[in-house]
Amino acid sequence: MNNKYKSGFAAVIGRPNVGKSTLINSLIGQKIVIMSDKPQTTRNKITCVMTEENMQVVFIDTPGIHKPMHKLGEHMVNAAQNTLKEVDVILFVIDATEKIGGGERYIMKQLQATNKPIILLINKIDLLDKGRILPIIAAYQAEYKKICEEEGSKSKTSNKFSTVIPISAKEKDNLPELLKELNTALPEGPQYFPEDMVTDQPERLIVAELIREKVLLSTRDEVPHAIAVDVEEMTTRQNKDVYIRATIYVERDSQKRIVIGAKGSLLKQIGASSRADIQNLLGSKIYLDLWVKVKKDWRDRERLLKELGFND
């Protein structure tokens, strides 16, 4: 029956750290979405395109929905809420090893207002005994029903998830089931993007995300999320080598000292590992010129947010 070509948009929603980036990477098979052990690292909406024989899915990797705390938080929340209105299907990812908490309830409150099909993905099942999965599914279904009733859900859909699939994004368990459900949920449509296209984000933004990931990984907890990376120049030389100049923005002098490290040692390390990843991504030899600058309270400056690409 399903032999018509399908295409459309799928939003990936979930609390920070539940595995959204890992899921997209597993599905698309290339490292393009920032991954780190720190929560809330996915700030840009990176759109990935997955082209299969029977469908093309454009994944919107939303920033984790959470309550606004400062301006940057508001941007993230707005981006995620707008995304919900534009898509054909919503993937709600939860971490099976964590109890349902305020974060999940907050998201479910927003989901009940949409009339889009919602696929609940119970992620990280590789960390659980099989017997523990069914009670988790039941708990989520009961909680969602309760929230829909409390909110007097006006949506046309029933107060149920369309489908629930236990998965392991890391081990790629049950991902074929997910593809099947996506195919059912998507409307008939053309292949919008060329087959070899994986993301529609400009390369500069991806390069900035890769560098940002390296800074977060190498500084551990010493430099919080108060960093941004701006790729100021990216030029391909005649011999096809690529020259990249990028600036890491921090909020305080002390953070600048940490990122640079003793005699520049940490910055060198960040540069080396970033270069390796970027080389992999672009397939060319990379010259990376990295700078660190202090911009105080940059999180609350609208203009700067725009400059750095957080402009929706």
Q: Which residues bind ligand GTP (CB under 6 A)?
A: 14, 16-22, 35, 37, 39-42, 64, 123-124, 126-127, 168-170
Six-digit token string for 208 = 């900035």
Instruction: Decide whether 181 or 213 has the Cβ nearer to ligand GTP.
Output: 213
Q: How many CA atoms lie within 13 A of 252 on its CB side?
A: 8
- Distance in Å, CB of 212 to ligand GTP, minimum: 11
- Distance in Å, CB of 102 to ligand GTP, minimum: 16
Q: How far is CA 231 from CA 34, 207, 243, 268, in A?
A: 16, 7, 11, 17
**One-letter amino acid identity for 282?**
L
Contact 60, 11 (CB under 8 A): yes
Six-digit token string for 193 = 């993007």
- Distance in Å, CB of 79 to ligand GTP, minimum: 12
Distance between the two ends of the chain, CA-based, in angstroms? Answer: 39
Instruction: Decide whether 35 or 276 has the Cβ nearer to ligand GTP.
Output: 35
- Distance in Å, CB of 310 to ligand GTP, minimum: 15
- Say how many residues make up the chain: 312
Instruction: Decide whether 94 or 234 has the Cβ nearer to ligand GTP.
Output: 94
Residue number of the CB closest to ligand GTP reads: 19
- Distance in Å, CB of 187 to ligand GTP, minimum: 27
Contact 233, 208 (CB under 8 A): no
Instruction: Decide whether 7 or 26 has the Cβ nearer to ligand GTP.
Output: 26
Q: CA-to-CA distance for 248 and 226, rounded, in angstroms?
A: 10
Instruction: Decide whether 14 or 271 has the Cβ nearer to ligand GTP.
Output: 14
Q: CA-to-CA distance for 47 and 165, rounded, in angstroms?
A: 23
